[in-house]
Amino acid sequence: MLINKINTYNFFNMNCKKARVLMSAAVDSELNLKEEQDFLAHLSECKECHEEFREAKKTKMIIKERIVQFKAPQSLVNSNMQLTSIPATEHEDTLLFE
Rounded-to-10 torsion of CA 33, 16, 11, 55:
20
25-75, pLDDT tens digit by residue? 999 999 999 999 999 999 999 999 999 999 999 999 998 888 877 788 888
How far apart are alpha carbons 80 and 83 in whole angstroms?
5
Q: Which amino acid would we find at residue 22?
A: L
Separation of alpha carbons 41 and 72, rounded Å: 45
Provide the residue type at 85 as one letter: S
So what's the pLDDT on residue 4?
46
- Write phi, then psi, for 60 (nearest 5 degrees): -60, -40
